[in-house]
Structure 1
C-alpha cells in the first residue's frame, strides 16, 4: 500500500440470498467505472461465511481522487441498486501499521 493513500472499507449487510447479487453488482461497478478513475489503486471484495456481509476494501492515491470519482455520475446507479439490496457502513482510513510473517 502506498504511503499517503487512503483506504476505503465499506461494509454492507445483506440477506444471505442477496450476497452473491451484491458481490456481482459491486464487481460490475468497479470493473465498469471505478477502476478507470484517476487515483484508483486497487479493490478487494470479501464475503462473510454466514452470507450476511460483503466488505469492499479499496485503496486510492488520495482522498481528493476518491472524492472526484464520487462526483462522477456513472457509478451512481450501481450504488443505488446496492442500497436497495443492503445497508451500507462506509469508512475512510489511512494505514497506521502493517505486519508480515517473520523473515519476509
Structure 2
C-alpha cells in the first residue's frame, strides 16, 4: 500500500467518523455524551476537509490531529472572506474521486 492510499484511507475514516457522529446527534440530540459526540463530529469533519485541501496541515508536530480551533484557523488563513467574517470553501460532491 503506498502513501497516497494510506492518506486516502485516513481521510475517509475521518469523514466516516464525522458522518457517524452527526447521524447519532440527528437521531437523538439528547443522547448521553452528546457534547463529546459533537466534538468528535466537528473535529473529524474539519480534519477531513483540511486534509483534502491542504494535506499534512491537519496534524501537529507530533503527528496528532489538531484541535477544532487549530483546524478552523488553517481554514481562516487559507480561504478568503466572501463577506466580513464568512469564508466559503467549495468542495467537490465526491472528494474521494479526486484524481
TM-score (norm 2): 0.33
Higher relative contact order (CA 8 A, sep 6+): 1
Which structure is higher in strand share?
Answer: 1
TM-score (norm 1): 0.32
